[in-house]
């Protein structure tokens, strides 16, 4: 027999198979898939696109071409590659800290995409030439121009990062919290130590028998009037 949680039978036990565990599984699985997909596409691009002209796809909407980027988008910070490695490590640490209290599966998906993308580019900076923590990131997708003159050349890790951040913005705007709760328009943020919200998100109002009788009397007087 499974014992009920401290807040009733619908509350999962800490460490059990509840929403917290599902969210962590989604985060880890999404991050792993994004990282492996990015690693595979980079390996394939290096094997097939290196030392050749850009490949034109979709009537020129997309071009496949190899570039090695030592900086950020548009080549920014190219002389300070190690800074991006430190920033990425900080992001990974922040996501790990967030995961300790994660109870939302959509947030697990969002953070998993960001984590997988961060790992993909961090692996390039650590292990690729010209050296550890100053390696160049392999990019291979260019939009509307074969040489990235319209939009920066990017890779699958960059796409995962952008999608993860975009999903996080949507979750924030719709009031979805990382602990699995959901705020509605006009609702104040729950204070520390305050009672849990009811399942429909509204506050529960406690009344006494005297107040109930008074309200019934008021209703009857109103009907007679």
Cβ atoms 118, 94 nearer than 8 A: no
Cβ atoms 140, 66 nearer than 8 A: yes
The structure tokens listed for 202 are: 């509204």
Burial class (CB in 10 A: 0-12, 13-18, 19+), 125: buried
Residue from 42, 76, 52, 33 nearest 155 by CA: 42
Cα atoms found within 13 Å of the Cα of residue 192, Cβ hemisphere only: 0
The structure tokens listed for 58 are: 């979709």
Cβ atoms 152, 145 nearer than 8 A: no
Q: Which of 79, 145, 158, 179 is catalytic?
A: 158
Buried b (16+ CB within 10 A) or exposed e, 56-67: eeeeeeebbbbb
Residue 139 among the catalytic residues: yes
Residue 24: DSSP 8-state: H
Q: Which of 139, 187, 200, 218 is catalytic?
A: 139
- Residues serving a catalytic function are 139, 158
């Amino acid at each position: 027999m499974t014992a009920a949680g401290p807040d009733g039978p619908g509350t999962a036990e800490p460490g059990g198979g509840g929403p917290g565990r599902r969210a962590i599984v989604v985060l880890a699985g999404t991050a792993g898939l994004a990282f492996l997909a990015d690693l595979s596409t980079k390996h394939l691009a290096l094997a097939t696109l290196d030392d050749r002209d850009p490949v034109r796809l979709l009537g020129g909407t997309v071009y496949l071409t190899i570039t090695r980027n030592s900086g950020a988008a548009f080549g920014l910070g190219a002389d300070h590659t190690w800074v991006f490695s430190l920033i990425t490590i900080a992001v990974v640490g922040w996501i790990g800290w967030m995961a300790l209290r994660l109870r939302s599966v959509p947030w697990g998906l969002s953070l998993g995409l960001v984590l997988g993308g961060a790992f993909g580019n961090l692996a390039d900076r650590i292990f690729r030439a010209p050296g550890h923590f100053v390696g160049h990131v392999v990019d291979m997708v260019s939009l509307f121009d074969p040489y990235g003159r319209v939009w920066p050349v990017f890779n699958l890790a960059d796409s995962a990062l952008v999608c993860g951040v975009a999903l996080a913005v949507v979750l924030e705007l719709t009031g979805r919290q990382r602990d699995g709760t959901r705020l509605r328009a006009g609702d104040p943020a729950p204070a520390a130590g305050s009672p849990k919200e009811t399942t429909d998100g509204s506050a529960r109002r406690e009344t006494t028998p005297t107040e109930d009788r008074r309200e019934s009397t008021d209703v009857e007087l109103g009907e007679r009037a």
